[in-house]
Amino acid sequence: MLDLDASNSGEERCIQRQPHILVGVTSAQTCLVLPGRVRTLREAGFRVSLLSAPGELLEQTARRAQVDAYAFPMERGISPLADIVVFVRIWRLLRHLKPDIVEFSTPKAGLLGILAAWFCKIPARVYLLRGLKFETSRGLKRSLLVWAERIAARSAHVVVCNSRSLRERALVTGVAPASKLVVLGEGSSSGVDLARFAPGPSSMRQQLGIPEEAMIIGFVGRLTADKGLPELLEAFAGILGHEPRAYLLLVGWFDAAEDALDIRMRTRIEGHPRIICTGFVADTAPYYRAMDLMVLPSWREGFPNVVLEAGATGIPVIATRCTGSRDAVIPGVTGLLVSPGDPDAICEAAVGLLRDPDLCQRMSAAARIWVVENFEDRRVLEMAVAFYLSLIRPSGEAGVETEESRTETATGLPVSL
């Protein structure tokens, strides 16, 4: 962590000539998707600061990307007193750093960070909308989350949405007006490393003790209710009735979030002879190559990168028609879409694909081509950098341009309004 009082006059004079961006998220866990983003910003000439709750992933990401890191304790749930303390600390940090532009995402950091940046009059304030948590909330909690999103959006100059359906949902629910909501290219905040996620051999079946002739249905992500794990388990019971060779490979961890699985669900997963649960995995690429298909039965998403990673690896995907997920699949071409909360539909779709290898092969090839053409990580990240540079005036003074000038970035990359 950095000492705010430490300084070097020569280094400061050099740094002051760089545009400075502060990237903030709530949980250190979210830093998993940030290395490419912060590294690309740094390589483009930005001085980058990274902020999140304390954690090894924050320190690791900052160290590898060679950027500054700041750790402030943030709770994902509603905690008024603790949130006020964090807000004041972020406000003080922003007053000290005086960044030209901030990018805050995830609900808590988005609200506290963008609001603090508004009070500090940061010249360019970006709220990166990665999803809408209120979609799976009810009652008073939902109302509070909706208003938190609206306040964050109102305090930002621009709201960059991860996907087109997320933009549509944000517009319909009154999170922000159409003039503030943009989608860069086809969406996604990080894209896919096409060399890392590519078709090829894998020894993962042998390592996990899964027979070579088994049919593996995979899942990648947090093991929570919002990700559709209860429905996936019910669907898998039906799949086994049709295809006794099936295995369920859960590449992820039991997240202690508000939508955490209860103890009975965890026990069911851990005790099932045909379910393999890996826990947290740093490199998921070899696991995709072991799968026959992947299922993401989420109730809400922003833009699920795991679907793109599976597609790049040549794996057909079954996803839901929820916000975000429906943008990551071309139905009938790269995979299949089912309604959220419908285990019978998941079972039917999975059995159909497992019994039609020709269809799986066509979808696999199409998925790889689609991801290569639209979501290569360098292309996605450079598009974001170009857009952020367009928010800074050529004179070097930071500021937000007019809506008309934002419809196309300085490099000619498309921005959807």
The tens digit of pLDDT for each residue in 370-395 reads 999 999 999 999 999 999 999 986 54
Q: What pLDDT does residue 395 have?
A: 47
| 100 part of a folded domain | yes
- Min mean pLDDT across 71-85, 168-182, 238-252, 315-329 is at 71-85
The tens digit of pLDDT for each residue in 170-215 reads 999 999 999 999 999 999 999 999 999 999 998 999 999 999 999 9
The CATH number of the domain where 167 resides is what? 3.40.50.2000
| SS3 assignment, position 242 | helix
| 198 part of a folded domain | no
Q: At 86, which amino acid appears?
A: V
Q: Kindly tell me if the per-residue pLDDT of 412 is higher than 60.
A: no
Residues 251 and 390 in one domain: no
Residues 271 and 410 in one domain: no
Residues 37 and 167 in one domain: yes
The span from the CA of 159 to the CA of 179, in Å, is 9
| 121 part of a folded domain | yes
The span from the CA of 61 to the CA of 67, in Å, is 8
Q: At 25, which amino acid appears?
A: V
Quick one: which of 158, 92, 146, 84 has its CA closest to 119?
92
**Per the structure, how many domains does the chain have?**
2
Residues 288 and 411 in one domain: no
Over range 226-241, report the average pLDDT. Answer: 97
| 149 part of a folded domain | yes
| 4 part of a folded domain | no
Q: What pLDDT does residue 79 have?
A: 77
Structural domain boundaries, residue 305: 204-374
Q: How confident is the model at residue 354 (pLDDT cuts 50, 70, 90)?
A: very high
Q: Kindly tell me if the per-residue pLDDT of 328 is higher than 70.
A: yes
Angle at 330 (CA atoms; ends 340, 366), nearest 5 degrees: 135
The span from the CA of 240 to the CA of 235, in Å, is 9
Q: How confident is the model at residue 355 (pLDDT cuts 50, 70, 90)?
A: very high
Q: How confident is the model at residue 10 (pLDDT cuts 50, 70, 90)?
A: very low
Q: Kindly tell me if the per-residue pLDDT of 231 is higher than 50.
A: yes
| 209 part of a folded domain | yes
Q: For the whole model, what pTM was predicted?
A: 0.87
Strand 335-338 to 317-320 pairing:
parallel
The tens digit of pLDDT for each residue in 270-307 reads 999 999 999 999 899 999 999 999 999 999 999 999 99
Quick one: which of 301, 305, 332, 338 has its CA closest to 316?
332
| 314 part of a folded domain | yes
Cα end-to-end span (Å), the chain: 38
Q: What pLDDT does residue 1 have?
A: 53
Round the average pLDDT of the chain to a whole number and report it.
Answer: 89
| 2 part of a folded domain | no
| SS3 assignment, position 278 | coil
Q: What pLDDT does residue 151 have?
A: 96
Q: Classify 244 in phi/psi space as left (phi over 0), alpha (psi -120 to 50) or beta.
A: alpha
Please, are residues 284 and 209 in contact by the beta-carbon 8 Å criterion?
Answer: no
Q: What pLDDT does residue 74 have?
A: 84
Q: Kindly tell me if the per-residue pLDDT of 398 is higher than 60.
A: no
Residues 242 and 362 in one domain: yes
Q: How confident is the model at residue 32 (pLDDT cuts 50, 70, 90)?
A: confident
Q: Classify 233 in phi/psi space as left (phi over 0), alpha (psi -120 to 50) or beta.
A: alpha
Residues 55 and 130 in one domain: yes
What percent of the chain shows pLDDT beyond 90? 81
Residues 118 and 212 in one domain: no
Question: Which residues 6+ apart lie within 8 Å of 198 measured at CB?
Answer: 312, 313, 314
